[in-house]
Chains A and B, each alone.
Chain A
Amino acid sequence: MSLYSLTRTLGRSEAPPVAKVARTTPGLAVHLAGISKTFGGRAVLDRLDLAIRPSQFVAVIGRSGCGKSTLLRLLTGLDTPTGGHLNLDGQPLAGLAPTVRMLFQDARLLPWQRVVDNVGIARGPDWRERALKALDDVGLSDRANDWPAVLSGGQRQRVALARALVSRPKLLLLDEPFGALDALTRIEMQNLLADLWHRERFTVVLITHDVVEAAMLADRVLVLRDGQIRMDAPVNAPRPRESDDPEVLRLEKALLKAV
């Protein structure tokens, strides 16, 4: 696996600079039409249609192996679909896009770079100031010069969040980002994410196992099963949400049934 990805990377020439698009909205519109992805003859995603409007917070839930992670990898441009069309803001997605950032379940910080260098991994002009600012946003400005190894799991994930947000993405992809955290830290991180999203208004696609997380955070929840969308429910509860909001509770029940 490492061999494969490494050679693919080293074999690639540097991606051409993407033309600067006028910043009309802080979030990207995502449009998937008839998207399929097959691995060795097995369809993981089967002619999937999905339209996400700019700045929408979409949660995707489903059992293991339902194609959630595959969907996310297609949106990053790391993988290409076997069939169908994938557009971001009306433009077909070709390769990795600098406006798309992803948060993994494990923080994936470089252990040999200090926290601030990890946040500014993409470098670019004024990267250090921007990285410090992003660290401040996630409440870790005092840990800028620490090694990742001395941070707790929750702090590492905060650093990873800062790293994702430092380049002001228009689409943030989250692959079960809080699944490995303890319950209290998870709630903290969820609140942090909700605050940052409220402020920056990027589009979010959050993959999760947790129906409560989905119902509390998202504008819209999708249930994925057998490579297709089986349920597409709006969340109408007012924000900030309480966990005992009747709308939230009703949705959680419906989601559990549909998964």
Chain B
Amino acid sequence: MTVSWKNGRAFDTLAPWIVPVVLVLVWEAAAESGLLSARLLPAPSAIAVAGWEALVSGVLLHHVWISFQRAMIGLAIGGGIGFALGVVTGAFPVAEKLIDSPVQMLRNVPHLAMIPLVILWFGIDEQAKIFLVAVGVMFPIYLNTFHGIRTVDSGLIEMARLYGLSPWHLFVRVVMPGALPSILVGLRYALGIMWLTLIVAETISASAGIGYMTMNAREFLQTDVVLLGIIIYALLGKGADVLTRVLERCCLSWHPAYQTDRKASL
């Protein structure tokens, strides 16, 4: 015991898994013993079986792919618009005066409150879901891009001008890298909002996607599939988070907080 505890690294990697694993084991035991009704909360093993079957039949991948596509298209559109607006308002005060306050007003409207309007506009087609995702992700990206550009060290900008950088090079080599940490924070927020919006949109009306899969399963009282859908959402969310972390580590390797050699020496 003392030996394994002394080996701090092994413990550090295993520690986050201890509580979830224990919880799943307790859950499994409760379901097996009949303490939990399978209709309300099927055993983890039953969910795993449902997941395996859906995977083998190709149904699961089909739905995940549809949801993933919606999420990415929405992110590309909304994120692109938010980023462009943030750059323009961050760089030009005139644009800030014109654009920022209307955007701030719109930002305070919960975008899911627009669902009835969106259904009137787009029906219950793909555009409706993509539109909602785009609106949801736009604001965090806009705000953080704007904020990131505004808070770039003015001393660095002055230095760069003095050393003869053209406006384009100043933007690419000084302003954008300086704003990047903030922009990536915005992206992380946006990814969270992206999945949340998609879940709501797909549960309301869809003919494919994870939300559709779970709603369909509810009609047939397939609680295991409903839970499977929820778990898939959790995994996708976690995946997006891991992706941004990797992105941060690549893009911000200059940042003291991401310098691995320094961390290792701690």
Interface set of A (CB-CB < 8 Å, partner B): 1-3, 5-7, 9-15, 76, 78, 96, 98, 101-102, 104, 106, 108, 110-113, 121-123, 147-150, 163
Contact = CB atoms under 8 A, between A and B. Distances in A.
Nearest to B262: A150
A113 B254 contact: yes
A121 B158 CA distance: 13
B174 interface: yes
B167 A12 contact: yes
Interface string B138-182: 000000000001111111111111111111011101110110100
Interface string B200-228: 00000000000000000000000000000
A112 B177 contact: yes
Given A104-B159, A112-B254, A2 B92 contact: no
B159 A9 contact: no
Chain B contact surface mostly:
helix
Given A10-B170, A111-B254, A112-B254, A98 B164 contact: yes
Contact of B164 (A2, A111, A122): A122
8 contacts: A5-B158, A6-B90, A10-B167, A14-B167, A78-B162, A96-B164, A121-B173, A147-B259
B91 interface: yes
Contacts of B171: 10
Contacts of A3: 93, 150
Nearest to B151: A2
A24 B169 CA distance: 32
A6 B155 contact: no
Contacts of A123: 169
Interface residues of B, number: 39
B254 A147 contact: yes
A10 B92 contact: yes
Given A2-B157, A149-B255, A14 B166 contact: yes
B256 interface: yes
Nearest to B256: A149
Contact of B163 (A10, A121, A149): A121
A2 B174 contact: no
Contacts of B169: 123
Nearest to A107: B159
Nearest to B171: A10
Nearest to B251: A112
B151 A7 contact: no
Given A3-B93, A110-B177, A113-B254, A9 B161 contact: yes
A123 B92 CA distance: 27
Contacts of B253: 147
Given A7-B93, A9-B170, A149-B254, A122 B163 contact: yes
B177 A1 contact: no
Nearest to A147: B254
Closest 6 CB pairs of A and B: A2-B154, A112-B177, A108-B159, A112-B254, A14-B166, A149-B256
* Most chain A C-beta atoms within 10 Å of own C-beta, residue among B153, B157, B163, B254: B163
A10 B85 CA distance: 16
